[in-house]
Amino acid sequence: MLAVAQVGGIDSSESRPEVVARLIALLEEAASQGAELVVFPELTLTTFFPRTWFEEGDFEEYFEKSMPNDDVAPLFERAKDLGVGFYLGYAELTSDEKRYNTSILVNKHGDIVGKYRKMHLPGHADNREGLPNQHLEKKYFREGDLGFGVFDFHGVQVGMCLCNDRRWPEVYRSLALQGAELVVLGYNTPDFVPGWQEEPHAKMFTHLLSLQAGAYQNSVFVAAAGKSGFEDGHHMIGGSAVAAPSGEILAKAAGEGDEVVVVKADIDMGKPYKESVFDFAAHRRPDAYGIIAERKGRGAPLPVPFNVND
């Protein structure tokens, strides 16, 4: 059984212990429904601070210097007691003062068995005053340096990513080529994003579309947990969900507060797709995909020499 734990808005006034208490309550609810793995959102422990411009040195409180630390240890301990694993997103500050948007995978014994640092940082690094909110991940975080890893979770091969990564097809394919059976991710998607002119209903559509396309085209389950509702006066779209290898949404959060969605994820559901339309070994053409790795931005068409009768 698999659970996504949607978290209602976390205001800046909430302390780490208060937030962790909410996460433990969600964990316990998921466990009571038979969940073995619980997926929490991106930057779960704090408000989504990249929406705000801070001067250097004024944003240290949002970062974790170790994991688990004293504030988060109760979550690890309760999960271990319940025999439930979890995925958790947080802001990481390394010993050499590097900052990353990070997530970890914790097994049923309380051991960290996987780690990921966000690769596709959206937004901008400069201060754009006058906007309802900003999108400053490029200011506060470095681009991830751990690649796209797949980790064993009690016999299930699990890949991880974060938020904007879910919109990039290369992410799912990189994980599927390593045998991923399940992709877990956390996200924060506000109604308003600078430079991104979509209505809230369209944001929900493209969010779910990204999960469904990634799941179907790679024959994997995708479990996505987000923040939802109002957070420090800014509205988040929610929509935490699980997509099956068929591309169907198996379950989706109904509200905008703290909510657990539990589904039965039969990993074998992906096999028929892996052995037919998405049999990579039989049908993929890596020799024809060079432009994907060689070219970063859009450019001119490549020449295609041909003879109409040959």
Residue numbers annotated as active site = 42, 118, 163
| Beta-carbon contacts of residue 279 (< 8 Å; ≥ 6 apart) | none
- Give the number of other Cβ atoms within 10 Å of residue 73's Cβ: 13
Strand stretches in the chain, DSSP E: 2-8, 37-39, 85-93, 99-106, 112-117, 150-153, 156-162, 182-187, 221-231, 234-237, 241-243, 249-252, 259-263
The radius of gyration of the chain's CA atoms, rounded to the nearest angstrom, is 20
Report the alpha-carbon distance of residue 70 to residue 21 in Å, rounded. 13
DSSP letters for 12-48: TT--HHHHHHHHHHHHHHHHHTT-SEEE--TTTTS--
- Give the number of other Cβ atoms within 10 Å of residue 15's Cβ: 9
